[in-house]
Amino acid sequence: METKNLIKKCQQGDKEAFQLLISRYHPLVYKFLVKISNNDQVAEDLTQETFLKVIRHIDNFATEGQAKFSTYIISIAKNAYIDYLRKEKRLLHNSSISEALNTEDVNIQEDRVVDRLYGQSLLKSLEDLPDEQRIAIKLKYLEGLTLKEIGMELGLEPKTVKSRIHNGMIRLRKLAGKGDEYERD
């Protein structure tokens, strides 16, 4: 069944259509949430939360509009993850962050960043970043996605993704006590 027709049936309250919609989109949502959370249990919980929100608000999706349903549902999943992060947020500062970001070049070589991002202290420090920057950095350096791929996942232009990553790296340097040396206007 075509997605548009499936959504129309869901909007009419067809329970079988809801089950089919969930089974069709569960893998996409779960995979996305595993990528950005790096935690299977969190991803599963947020996948369920995402589908609860979709079911509650299915009438808000315009089947005649230009938006793809996959973009709509990934947007809901992203927002569920951001809400989760806000609830779980803790302030953590660690001296090894300073070492990991000890460079004058804003465009740090990718391999170097990947190696350091896998370090526990830097991963924890990412929690101090705004959600938009943290998600973009994780998708770029932990998942190895391109700016275009990240943009597609998050529904953003690649230039916006690049800006979020750039600003996030500057903010990480500031968290490490290196902000004044690297800030450029």
**25 and 47 co-located in one domain:** yes
**82 and 99 co-located in one domain:** no
- Is 160 a residue whose pLDDT tops 90? yes
User: Could you tell me the two tokens for 16?
Assistant: 């079988």
> How many C-beta atoms surround the C-beta of residue 9 within 10 A?
17
Confidence tier at 62 by pLDDT (50, 70, 90): confident
**49 and 125 co-located in one domain:** no
Tell me which of 47-51, 96-100, 137-141 is least confident.
96-100
**124 and 60 co-located in one domain:** no
Domain boundary among 53, 88, 123: 88
Nearest CA to 5 out of 69, 55, 54 is that of 69
Burial class of residue 6 (count of CB atoms within 10 Å of its CB; 0-12, 13-18, 19+): buried
Read off the pLDDT of residues 75-111 as tens digits, 9 standing for 90 and up: 899 888 887 877 765 433 333 344 444 443 444 444 4
Phi and psi at residue 118, to the nearest 5°: -70, -15
> What type of residue sits at position 5?
N
Q: Which domain holds residue 33?
A: 3-88
**77 and 105 co-located in one domain:** no
**60 and 79 co-located in one domain:** yes
pTM: 0.53
**76 and 154 co-located in one domain:** no
Q: What is the pLDDT of residue 159?
A: 95
**8 and 61 co-located in one domain:** yes
Q: What is the mean pLDDT of the chain?
A: 76
Q: How many domains does the chain have?
A: 2
Residue 114's contacts (CB-CB under 8 Å, 6 or more residues apart) are 141, 142, 144
Domain boundary among 51, 72, 88: 88
User: What is the CATH classification number for the domain harbouring 41?
Assistant: 1.10.1740.10
**135 and 157 co-located in one domain:** yes
User: What is the CATH classification number for the domain harbouring 154?
Assistant: 1.10.10.10
**39 and 62 co-located in one domain:** yes
**113 and 80 co-located in one domain:** no
CA dihedral 65, 161, 148, 25 (to 10 degrees): -50
Read off the pLDDT of residues 120-131 as tens digits, 9 standing for 90 and up: 556 667 778 888
Give the Cα separation of 123 and 42 in Å (integer): 16
Residue 149's contacts (CB-CB under 8 Å, 6 or more residues apart) are 139
Nearest CA to 131 out of 179, 80, 95 is that of 80
Domain boundary among 46, 62, 88: 88
Confidence tier at 167 by pLDDT (50, 70, 90): very high
* Alpha helix segments (H runs only) across the chain: 3-11, 15-37, 40-56, 69-88, 95-100, 110-117, 120-125, 131-137, 147-154, 158-175, 179-182
**77 and 156 co-located in one domain:** no
